[in-house]
C-alpha cells in the first residue's frame, strides 16, 4: 500500500493536467523508443518532428493516464480493471509486455520532472507497475498470447 500511496501523493498534479502529462508521456515514449509508435496505427504516419504537441497523441495519452489512475487508486485490487485492458492489448493491439516496461520508465521520468515524484517515489511507481505488468502477463498467458 505504501508504494501506491507514494505515487498517489503526486497524482493530483497529473489529474490537473491530463492532456499535458499524457502528451508528454506518449511523445517521449515515441521519441525515446521509436519502435513503439508503430504499435499505434493512427500515429504511424506522424513524423518525429510533429510528435511533440500533437493533439491526437495527447488525447490518447489522457486515456492512458486515466486508466493508470484507476489502477493506482485500486491499490492492487485491480482485476476488474486490468483483465479487460489485458484482453484488448493482447487480442486487438498485440502489445508485448516489454512495451509496458518502457512506458513505466517514461512515466517515472515525467512524473519526476513535472510532478515532483522523488527517487523513492519513482521506485514505488516501478514496483506498482511491476505488479500490474506481472498481472498482465498472467492474463496474457490465459489468453494464449506470448506477450
At 13, which CATH number? 1.10.490.10
pLDDT at 65: 98
pLDDT at 101: 98
Number of domains the chain is built from: 1
Q: Which domain holds residue 134?
A: 1-143
Q: Cell digits for 57?
A: 497523441
Cβ proximity of 27 and 52 under 8 Å: yes
d(CA 72, CA 1): 10
d(CA 107, CA 109): 5
Mean pLDDT of the chain, nearest integer: 97
pLDDT at 1: 87
Q: What is the mean pLDDT of residues 18-47?
A: 97
pLDDT tens digits, 96-147: 999 999 999 999 999 999 999 999 999 999 999 999 999 999 999 999 999 8
Q: What is the mean pLDDT of residues 65-88?
A: 97
pLDDT at 147: 81
pTM for this entry: 0.95
Amino acid at each position: 500500500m505504501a508504494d501506491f500511496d507514494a505515487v498517489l501523493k503526486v497524482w493530483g498534479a497529473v489529474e490537473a493536467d491530463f492532456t499535458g502529462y499524457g502528451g508528454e508521456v506518449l511523445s517521449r515514449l515515441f521519441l525515446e523508443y521509436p519502435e513503439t509508435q508503430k504499435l499505434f496505427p493512427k500515429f504511424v504516419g506522424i513524423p518525429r518532428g510533429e510528435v511533440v504537441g500533437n493533439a491526437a497523441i495527447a488525447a490518447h495519452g489522457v486515456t492512458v493516464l486515466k486508466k493508470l489512475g484507476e489502477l493506482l487508486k485500486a491499490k492492487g485490487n485491480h482485476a476488474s480493471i486490468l483483465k479487460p485492458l489485458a484482453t484488448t492489448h493482447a487480442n486487438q493491439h498485440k502489445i508485448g509486455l516489454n512495451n509496458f516496461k518502457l512506458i513505466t520508465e517514461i512515466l517515472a521520468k515525467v512524473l519526476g520532472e513535472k510532478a515532483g515524484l522523488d527517487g523513492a517515489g519513482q521506485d514505488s511507481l516501478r514496483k506498482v507497475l511491476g505488479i500490474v505488468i506481472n498481472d498482465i502477463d498472467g492474463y496474457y498467458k490465459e489468453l494464449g498470447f506470448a506477450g
